[in-house]
Structure 1
Amino acid sequence: MKITLPKIGNLCGVLAPVLWAAAIIYGGSLRPEYSHYSQYISELGERGSSTEFIMRYGAFVPTGLMHIAFAAFLSTAFKDSPVAKFAALLIAVNGIARIGAGTFPCEVGCSLPRLMLSQKLHSLSAGVGFFALIGASLLWGILIRRYHSLRGLSAYSIVSGCLALVFLALMSWSAELRMGTGLYERLSTGLLSLWMFVFAARLWWLKAYSVSPGLY
């Protein structure tokens, strides 16, 4: 199979969720005191931590760039649809927000957003990223009903977005006591990451002919 820029963009959509999950698991394994149940993912990249570099430059920044590349691919693949271009833009916004979250680390504990500008920018980036990707999964769920070969992913995309929003709300609700906060965050980002992986993988194996003649 000839490798082209669109294919690279498509592949980025497949690999970004894998890299994201691997970095979280690996980073957590390096810190025995770290709790995936109660602590934020961002705490793996908090300022001064032993896993700061791994998470900032091995997870947040590279997956952000990969999301932007996947969004560019989608914008080209569905170039005849203005709605698809907007849905792709939301994925790109998530990518930019991830880069922002990696560029500006949170302080220890990631719980005092008013202390430092870096903390404020990290929290803002994280929030924008989550909502952008949730919006993307919902919008793509509606949009792909038009395409016979992708129609089966419609309900899955919408349900993934809705559940991710619910778990994000639970994460916020539990933040003060840190009761399951990390778990809720992982469920939210996990659902969205799995959705992107499934969507990108489906487009890859379709070879695009049934979606758009100009996809590749």
Structure 2
Amino acid sequence: MNLRRFGIYCGIAAPLIWLSLISLAGAMRPEFSHSYQYISELGERGSSTEIPMRYIGFEFAGVLYVCFATALPASLREGWRSALVAVFIGLDGLGRVGAGVFACDPGCDGLSSSQELHRLFATTGFSSAILAAIACGIVFRGHAWLGILSVYSIGSGILAAIFLLLMTWDTNPIQTPGLFEHLATGVLSLWLLVFAARLSRAST
């Protein structure tokens, strides 16, 4: 297996591992609410799910995102357009790694430096993932075999952004921030999985 195909397979595996760890860690903590609590709380310092969520869910999956990003220029061969999408996906991966290295405080509402860095990296990851989906839809809309994903990619990025805005809206009448975060990461994870799977089929 060459490095390009390995990178594409990393893009398929990364969102599957991420979503699986959210489900697994949530199942390990019956008191955890996916509707009211943030995903980061599954990896908070001192929790029973800190180790698997931080080191597999955030860091390992994040490395896989970076590996996928490095394979994009050689897979797409579209010059700056490939590089643009690759940069955003790579920043998403680095944001995930950083969010794993710097765990949030219990409840993710502390004031420690680790908490602040966790928030910074998580925000970077989410923002980059949204930009990656939108950029992919725009720059590849006329591509021979990626154009079919154009509307889906842009829609995924916009929908995820809306969910994150609802998550942070203090006066939102639906006070379920965890639910909106889960929906946002679900939409973006599914988009990356579809994107990587499309690349895998086209590369056979």
- TM-score, length-normalised on structure 1? 0.91
Count of aligned pairs between the two proteins: 204
Shift of 1:42: 0.3
**Offset, 1:81:** 1.7
Q: Partner of 1:121 in structure 2?
A: 117
* One-letter identity of the residue aligned with 1:154: S
Match of 1:12 in 2: 10
Corresponding position: 1:143 with 2:169:
no
User: Which residue identity lines up with residue 148 of structure 2 in the other structure?
Assistant: G
Cα displacement string for residues 138-178 of structure 1 (whole angstroms, at most 9, x for unaligned residues): 00001221312111100000000000000011111159999
AA of the residue aligned to 1:170 = L
- Structure 1 residues 69-78 or 7-16, which shifts more? 69-78
- 1:188 to 1:199, Cα distance in 2 relative to 1, 3 A: same
Q: Deviations over 1:3-39 (max 9, x none)?
A: 1110010001111110001000000001111000000
Q: Which has the higher helix share?
A: 2
1:81 corresponds to which residue?
79
Contact 1:104 1:122 in 2 (8 A): yes
- Structure 1 residue ranges (4+ consecutive) displaced by more than 6 angstroms after TM superposition: 175-178
Aligned residues of 2:167 and 2:181 also touching (Cα < 8 A): yes
Give a deviation string over 1:113-159, Cα, whole Å, max 9, x none: xx200000000000011000100100000122131211110000000
Q: 2:59 aligns with which of 58, 61, 64?
A: 61
Give the equivalent residue in structure 2 for 1:214.
Answer: none
Q: Call closer, same or farther: CA 1:47–1:177 in 2, change over 3 Å.
A: farther
Is the contact made by 1:79 and 1:85 (CA closer than 8 Å) also made in structure 2? no
CA distance in 1, matches of 2:67, 2:160: 23
Is 1:92 the counterpart of 2:95 in the alignment? no
2:196 aligned partner? 200
- Matched to 2:196, the amino acid is A
Shift of 1:61: 0.3
> 1: CA distance between counterparts of 2:172 and 2:166?
11
Find the counterpart in structure 2 of residue 152 from structure 1. 148
- Find the aligned partners of 1:80 and 1:149 in 2 and give their Cα distance: 13
Specify whether residues 175 and 104 from structure 1 end up closer, same or farther in structure 2 by C-alpha distance, changes over 3 A only. farther
How many Å apart are 1:105 and its aligned residue?
0.2
Contact 1:98/1:129 (<8 A) preserved: yes
1:175 and 1:107 map into 2 onto residues whose CA distance is: 24
- Contiguous gaps of at least 5 residues in structure 2: none
Distance 1:95 1:175 in 2: 31
Corresponding residue for 2:178?
182
Write the distance in 2 (CA, Å) between the matches of 1:97 and 1:82.
22
RMSD: 1.6
Is contact 1:46-1:109 (8 Å) kept? yes
The letter for the 2-side match of 1:109 is G
State the partner residue of 1:105. Answer: 103
Of all paired residues, the percent bearing the same amino acid is 45
Cα contact 1:40–1:181 (8 A) shared by 2: yes
Are the counterparts in 1 of residues 92 and 125 from structure 2 also a CA contact under 8 Å?
A: yes
Q: Is the Cα–Cα contact under 8 Å of residues 137 and 160 in structure 1 kept in the other structure?
A: yes
Give distance in 2, aligned partners of 1:206 and 1:198: 12
